Amino acid sequence: MIVGVLVELSNKNIDKQYFYSVPESLIKDIKVGIRVIVPFGYQKLEGFIVEIKDKNEIEDIDLKEIIKIVDSDIILNNELLKLGKIMQEKTLSTLISCYQAMLPKALKAQKKTSIAKKFDTYYRLGNIPAKLNAPQTKIINLFNNKELVSRKEIISISSSSLKTLESKNILIKEKKEHYRLKYNKTLERKYTLTVEQQKIVDEINKSNDLIYLIHGVTGSGKTEVYMELIEGVLKQDKTAIVLVPEISLTPQMIRRFTEKFGDNIAAIHSALSEGEKYDEWRKIARGEAKIVIGARSALFAPVKNLGLIVIDEEHSDTYKQDDSNPRYDAKEMAIERCKLNSSCKVILGSATPALDSYAKAKKGIYHLLTLSNRVNKRPLPNIEIIDMNEEIKNIKGHFSDKLLSKIKEKIEKHEQVILLLNRRGYSSYISCKNCGYVFKCPNCDITLTYHKYTNNLRCHYCGYAENIVTICPSCRENAISSLGVGTEKIEEELFSLIPDVKIVRMDFDTTTKKGSHEKIIKDFRDHKYDILLGTQIVAKGLDFEDVTLVGVINADTSLNIPDFRSSETTFSLLSQVAGRSGRSRKEGEVVLQTFNKNHYAITHVKKHDYLGFYNDEMIIRRNLKYPPFYYIVYIRVSSKDNNICYKEALKIKKSLEKYLNEAIILGPSAASLFKLNNIYRYGIIIKYKRQDNLIDILNKMIDVYKSNRKVVIDLNFNPGHF
């Protein structure tokens, strides 16, 4: 027997399967999709078996033998093997990197990686002698009407008696594996779908379309629609995957689903420990969970007979992996996975759909469905725009009189407030008032952010940190001051303006500990705090019945990002956070502080006018030849040497112009983060409507640079951001 193995190294030079013979002793355990250890050059590597052949199918050459089988169970089933190849074709990444992206660390092809399973110890009865002392008798009595008793229960009586009973085979030890995560079914909320919700459920169930876009205003009950559809799928003995954009939303979604489906769920997301991810994966593979909930990577859960994929808050850019290979789009891959399963459907849901998605729905590529009303029959919250150009002389800290008075009013009524500032830390940067010196990261082309809690300066990209100083290192003057504002500073201002206020901050700095998202959300729901202050993670999907005011400290933050999607990002973020207000019996209010009150993204947010924003933005996109009217490929050229990097980027651009005569080639230009971890980066943008030879040309470019140790080329198709 001959097997084709894809080894663990992600390198374009070895991006193919290598053939090995199988020793007679291992043949019976060989399966496609398991991991094996193989000799590779002078080392031993792990890899996946991706093909099995007879000896006569391979030319008569001297093949090395596989060394060891790692798994008894299949890790990559046929569906995931096919999906990985599709991902490779769409991203031009290495095939092994596509498979590795699908798996928890415990199951990746990765030498020297071992994640232990968890076991509990139990005992069953063996031969019971006539004579036992009192503690021994008490232990034996635990087995009345029980086949197994836990070790913990027995040693609470007597650990020495347990040793004696075990040594005489009166008690026989058994190990039982347990999963690290448990989902306890809570009291189910009785919920009847509204006429509008039921109409959508019926339309999806009757239709044979593949992809559906639910455009539902905030609070319109999209989650209830998802659960009703999933219940129908389970009745057909099929499974479902539910994707959410933020880890912070996972506990809330799990709580809602356990109310209805009990422990028939599993979760996969980055906040879990590696052991928990390993348990959840195996639980799903064994068919013990029919519903998988999680962030982007949950898409690759090893469910069988998939019937439905739900992508909630589908507008979120977190569904696009932009930072590392493979740079895949989870929405695109969800559609591809659905095609591999008969009668499977994809549901996209959002109050502010991505413009690309809505354009496809308008063209009939997606089946468009609309939820126009909140389930509580309340109107959408009133949004008031505060022009900070006029308020600047009267502000207290970073708060206008209007926002501050509204906050105090809500707290006096025992209602709650959500405040958004999409920048963490205490201040954006530290500089010298005397000479203008700015503290920058020595590894990256970015200013350091001051964090008062730890009293240091930090780079939010590479993690570099240094202590704050009072003397300028350039002019030696005592003139250091902080500029800009982050959530830490806003929290400090609130405490000084409203001394008795109870504030909880939710940003990257306060949610690094395991379970921190869940604790903050639960504590706020239990009214332990008056104000939830945070970055964009407070804007999506959270549902608190006592929140009647949402305030945005600086609505312009994302408008200033140099990206063609900055207006869309701003409209979506502000609309979403506004939707957290007035979701229950009480009417909601929203106060947006801005220096650009007449910007079309801001004015359309005020009117809750998605279609108005869509129409205005599409005119700009069409004129500037951006998606959805053109496709984009972003080529990033990186090197430790700035001169080499720029010269090679110029060379690539000229070559592309020569062979891609139907495309628009822009650049090379310095990346928005020009230097990261001492690596210089330039970008080239390809815009095209149709370019038949594009993939061939890009593959040739990859081949030219795959052995170049001084320059690295990365491709990103339709990036979420540059």
Q: Which residues contact 550 (CB under 8 A, 6 or more apart)?
A: 381, 417, 418, 419, 420, 577, 578, 580, 581, 588, 589, 590, 591
Query: Helix axis angle, 195-206 relative to 222-235, nearest 10°?
Result: 40
Res 408 pLDDT > 80? yes
Quick one: pLDDT at residue 431? 83
Quick one: pLDDT at residue 47? 96
Out of 42-46, 144-148, 290-294, 531-535, pick the least confident. Answer: 144-148
247 falls in which pLDDT band (50, 70, 90)? confident
Per-residue pLDDT averaged across 480-489, rounded? Answer: 80
Express each pLDDT in 619-652 by its tens digit.
999 999 999 999 999 999 999 999 999 999 999 9
Q: Which CATH superfamily groups domain 2-107?
A: PriA, 3(prime) DNA-binding domain (3.40.1440.60)
Query: Helix axis angle, 78-91 relative to 95-102, nearest 10°?
Result: 130
Express each pLDDT in 673-707 by its tens digit.
899 999 999 999 999 998 899 999 999 999 999 99
Res 35 pLDDT > 80? yes
Indicate the DSSP class of residue 414.
T
Quick one: pLDDT at residue 568? 95
515 falls in which pLDDT band (50, 70, 90)? confident
Out of 57-61, 287-291, 630-634, pick the least confident. Answer: 57-61
Characterize the bridge pairing of strands 416-420 and 547-552: parallel
Express each pLDDT in 422-454 by its tens digit.
876 655 678 888 888 888 888 888 888 888 777
Quick one: pLDDT at residue 116? 82
Q: Which two tokens stand for residue 415?
A: 């209602």
- The DSSP line for 356-384 is HHHHHHHTTSSEEEEE-S-TT-PPPPEEE
Q: Which residue has the higher pLDDT, 248 or 295?
A: 295
354 falls in which pLDDT band (50, 70, 90)? very high
pTM: 0.90
CATH of domain 631-717: 3.30.70.600
Per-residue pLDDT averaged across 552-558, rounded? Answer: 89
Average pLDDT, the chain: 91
Q: Which CATH superfamily groups domain 195-371?
A: P-loop containing nucleotide triphosphate hydrolases (3.40.50.300)
Express each pLDDT in 194-226 by its tens digit.
999 999 999 999 999 999 999 999 999 999 999
Nearest CA-CA partner of 124 in 173, 163, 178, 160: 173
- Top mean pLDDT of 375-379, 540-544, 568-572, 582-586 is at 568-572
CATH of domain 382-424+499-621: 3.40.50.300
